[in-house]
Structure 1
Amino acid sequence: MDSVVIPIYTTIVSVPYYHYVLEGLLVLVVVFLWNRRNRRPRRPQLTEEEKEELIRKWQPEPLVPDTPQDHPALNPKYVDGKMGKYVSIEGKDYLNLATSNFLGLVGDERIEEVAKKTIYKYGVGSCGPRGFYGTVDVHLDLEKQLAEFMGCEEAVLYSYGFATIASAIPAYAKRGDIIYADKGVNFAIQKGLQASRSQIEWFEHNDMEDFERLLKIQAEKDLKNPKKAKVTRRFMVVEGLYLNSGDLCPLPTLMELKWKYKVRIFIDESLSFGVVGSRGRGVTEHFGVDVTDVDMIMASLENAVASTGGFCCGRSYVVSHQRLSGLGYCFSASLPPLLTTAASEALRIMDEEPERFDHLRSNGRRMLEGLRSAIADTLFYVQGDALSPVFHIKYRSDDVEEAEKKLDALVDNAFEKGLALTRARYLVGEEAFPIVPSIRLTVNSQLTSEEVDKSLKTIAEVVRSLTKN
């Protein structure tokens, strides 16, 4: 008996006393929680009459808020035919300054003929994601063509422009990483930033001093915690040409900050691809920046190229990663072959007809200078870069409703005079920052000097009439 009792006693004595205290506290907590659970008041049982009374009084909230009767979505204007330089609405032709057909490739006979031949050979769709049975030889051809056009090692093709940017960002940036983003970036970038779950640091639009201020703050944190700094990746995300403002990014300064603070740079060239640069290769060509120094370029094929989809290009090890982790690439049906060959033919036209870029830039400068003159000395003003084909007409007022009414009146009155303009529309409550109401005016390479001057005259007349009122 002693041979059993003595070891047990020795074990009990050798255990530190605080173990017994801790175990006793745990027992008390368990007892307390058990008693509390048993003392919870039971919900009163309702009678059938009380249930019926509650049901009669219940008023369900609407699934969506009520839409005002004057909302533009309830009174759309339908375009008949192609969205070319002129659009037909209810049998009348209007000069189109509303769509992003920058190089006038919508309705191009060469592109249409190639698309028709593709339909006869491949049909109208691929019916599957690229990684399964959706890859067709024309996809590989276009990816190679885009990489050569941009001077990059490799390109990856997406079937939807919005999903290109929104998928590419979270394919690399993850929780724990830091992304520096311009406050003026478009909605697709905002969704990509949100999906990445990274720490987002916003800097003022095109304000490099504010950007560097944030970089310095992070550099000081890194010095205090070098262990964490080694595993924290840093990205900056900007647009080559900003959709929401028409401003050009200061790429040379961005590249200086990239090397100085060791930050990867992603550039969305959706608006600048096919527009900026002597051959339409974007802001890297315009500023003379080596494209291999940019970590990744993202772009849509739905603007200047007049097709559908988008692409990312850069070094092979960067681009190839998206074929396994880019959600828009892995889980979306691939780009229809007819739109793929249409984009390929558009790239050939861009190579063969560089004068389209000259005409576009000439029209853009003429429109910007004319707009500044047409709405001078009024509460209207214009925002945009001289190299941009997109300009924003805004109204100076602290009252947002008043500004929207003035801009809507400008669109409606211009429409009555044969000019198709459009308000820049956004998802209310979804944008990262408040948006200033504006009219998004676009130009294209097909416009003649007479047509640009005529549209400026129309806008000036409407602005004067609204100013008098």
Structure 2
Amino acid sequence: MTSKVLQSFLRENISDLKARGLYNEIDPVQGANGPVINIDSQELINLSSNNYLGLATDSRLKEVAKEAVDSHGVGAGAVRTINGTLDLHLELEKKLAAFKGTEAVISYQSGFNCNMAAISAVMDKNDAILSDELNHASIIDGCRLSRAKIIRFNHSDMDDLRAKAKEATESGDYNKVMVITDGVFSMDGDIAKLPGIVEIAEEFDLITYVDDAHGSGVLGKGAGTVKHFGLQKRIDFQMGTLSKAIGVIGGYVAGKAELIDWLKVRSRPFLFSTAVSPADAVASTKAVELLMASTDLNEKLWENSDYLKDGLKKLGFDIGESETPITPCILGDEKDTQAFSKRLYEEGVYAKSIVFPTVPRGKGRVRNMPTAAHTKEMLDEALKAYEKIGKELGLI
């Protein structure tokens, strides 16, 4: 028998979320997640995918993935530390280390797993973590899991970071202090001030950790935010995903060989969760090889990003301070944001609304993610829809 208390809790809270425009509807995609998707038998221009370079549907990745299924099966069969480490995993990690410019790499089942694994493997209750107030949920959860003292600093505010780093290191209360930041902030598209962060870290001997989920494949000619600033030798942890620009699934941490060695014996998702499938590993390796061989996809991504940004600004939309392809249209009110997204859908454009708790209350936005796979014609159709609905709802 289901608990009456649980039933009451769920019904009341789900009803409340719906009433306040905070309930998230899930829209199953029929077929591949490309520049155009099919939902409920309707074709839609897709502006909500993290598939920045279009590699999720790339024929070269599909080909090697199929071959890996034939040669290695559909699953790794065990955790990495027993006999789930396949030659394909080692090839992926070697390629990623070369791509990121580090001594070594450890790969995980997801980017979220990386932050849960790596932070708690190094930091503990005797330590402190300086965390940007807009860091991703996986960073927040990873910090909580470590049991370290979490000290939030104002978003990209180097004066506040320096003051809090000085206080934490001079207090004598902590064995180690880490500073952790997203490389690219996923809701606003702005870039972390890594040169300033590194300067402060070196002044106060802080451990540095960059979550580059939205920077890898995008900045630094594809190699990421750390490479963008030329700081590969001065960052301790470079975390990245294989599910966004790389187009597959999984995550990794890049750094010194000693660090990676430690993570292999102390990070719990690596120790207690089955490795990614052979197909995923080899497809990710192929994607990295493509990015190392050519910047064509990266350049096309930025061309499309600039085109969409310029079009939205000319129409009068507020796209915030985005410096990357992540392009929010900040509308404010949650219900207006939900209504705008719904109307876009009706006009053949899929751009998901983002509201609290993903962003602060009153900062609702429709987030647009142009990719290298979009054509100018697709982006023009999207801009026409934005203009029509913006005028219709009195927002421009």
Q: Give the equivalent residue in structure 1 for 2:272.
A: 331
Q: How much does 1:434 deviate?
A: 6.1
Alignment match, 1:390? 326
Shift of 1:435: 8.1
CA distance in structure 2 between the partners assigned to 1:72 and 1:150 by the alignment: 38
Does 1:321 find its partner at 2:266? Answer: no
2 CA distance for matches of 1:63 and 1:331? 35
Equivalent position of 2:32 in the other structure: 82
Q: Which residue of 2 aligns with 1:160?
A: 110
- What whole-Å deviation, never above 9, does each CA across 1:393-417 have from its counterpart, x for those lacking one? 2224xxxxxx111111111111111
Whether 2:285 is the aligned partner of 1:285: answer no
* AA matched with 2:124: K
Q: Equivalent of 1:188, from 125, 138, 141?
A: 138
Structure 1 CA distance, aligned partners of 2:284 and 2:4? 53
2:122 is paired with a residue of what secondary structure? coil
Q: Which amino acid aligns with 1:252?
A: P
Distance 1:76 1:179, change over 3 A: closer
- Residues 420, 72 of structure 1: alpha-carbon distance in 2 compared, 3 angstrom cutoff: farther
Q: How does 1:125-140 map to 2 (within 5 A)?
A: 125-140=75-90
Q: 1:419 maps to which residue?
A: 349
The one-letter amino acid paired with 1:283 is: T
User: Which amino acid in the other structure matches residue 144 of structure 1?
Assistant: K
**2:309 is matched with which residue: 347, 354, 368?**
368
Aligned to 1:443: 370
**C-alpha displacement of 1:437:** 2.5
1:466 aligns with 2:388: no
Contact 2:95/2:289 (8 A) holds in 1: no
Shift of 1:375: 2.9
Q: Quote the offset at 1:215 in angstroms.
A: 2.1
Structure 1 residues 185 and 435, CA, compared in 2 at 3 Å: closer, same or farther?
A: farther
Counterpart contact for 2:34–2:373, Cα < 8 Å: no
Question: Quick one: which amino acid aligns to residue 303 of structure 2?
Answer: S
1:181 aligned counterpart, secondary structure: strand
Displacement of 1:59 in angstroms is 6.9
Q: Which letter maps to 1:409?
A: A
SS in 1 for 2:152: strand
Which residues of 2 match residues 136-147 of structure 1 at below 5 A?
136-147=86-97
Q: Which amino acid aligns with 1:417?
A: E
User: Could you tell me whether the CA contact under 8 Å between 1:273 and 1:282 is conserved in 2?
Assistant: yes
Give the fraction of aligned pairs with identical amino acids, expressed as a percent: 25
Distance in 2 separating the partners of 1:74 and 1:149:
36
Closer/same/farther in 2, CA of residues 468 and 357 from structure 1, 3 Å limit = closer
Give the drift of 1:159: 1.3
Deviations 1:303-358 (A, max 9, x none): 00111110001100011101111111111100111100010111112123311111
The 1:467/1:113 distance shift into structure 2, 3 A limit, reads same
CA RMSD of aligned residues (A): 2.3
1:299 to 240, 248, 254: 240
CA distance in 1, matches of 2:251, 2:227: 19
Cα–Cα, structure 1 residues 433 and 446, in superposed 2: closer, same or farther, change >3 Å? closer
Taking the aligned partners of 1:123 and 1:269, their CA distance within structure 2 comes to 31
Q: 1:256 aligns with which of 199, 221, 224?
A: 199
Matched, 1:453 2:373: no
The AA in structure 1 aligned to 2:10 is P
Q: Does 1:406 align with 2:342?
A: no
Distance 2:273 2:362 in 1: 31
Matched residue SS, 1:266:
strand
What TM-score do the two structures reach when normalised by structure 2? 0.92
Find the residue that maps to 1:275 and give its secondary structure: coil
- The letter for the 2-side match of 1:249 is A
Deviation at 1:261, TM superposition (A): 1.5
- Aligned residues of 1:374 and 1:457 also touching (Cα < 8 A): no
Q: Distance in 1 between matches of 2:260 and 2:135?
A: 22
- Report how many residues are paired: 389
Aligned partner letter, 2:55: L
Rg: which structure is higher?
Answer: 1
1:347 aligns with 2:283: no
Is contact 1:375-1:460 (8 Å) kept? no
Deviations 1:164-190 (A, max 9, x none): 112111110111111100000011001
In the alignment, the residues of structure 2 paired with residue 111 and residue 61 of structure 1 have an alpha-carbon distance, to the nearest angstrom, of 45
User: Alpha-carbon deviations, 1:180-205, whole Å to 9, x = none?
Assistant: 00000011001001001111110111
Unmatched 5+ residue regions in structure 2? none
**CA distance in 2 between partners of 1:365 and 1:411 (Å):** 22
**Deviation of residue 155 (structure 1)?**
0.3
CA–CA distance in structure 2, aligned partners of residues 468 and 181 of structure 1: 35
Aligned residue among 163, 169, 181 for 1:213: 163
The change in CA–CA distance for 1:468 and 1:182 in structure 2 (over 3 A counts) is closer
2:22–2:355 Cα contact (<8 Å) kept: no
Give, as a single letter, the amino acid of the residue that structure 2 aligns with 1:210.
Answer: D
Q: Distance in 1 between matches of 2:204 and 2:233?
A: 18
Give the C-alpha shift of residue 260 in structure 1: 1.2
Relative to structure 1, the CA distance from residue 166 to residue 383 in structure 2 (aligned partners, 3 Å threshold; closer, same or farther) is farther
Q: Which amino acid aligns with 2:225?
A: V
CA distance in 2, matches of 1:165, 1:74: 25
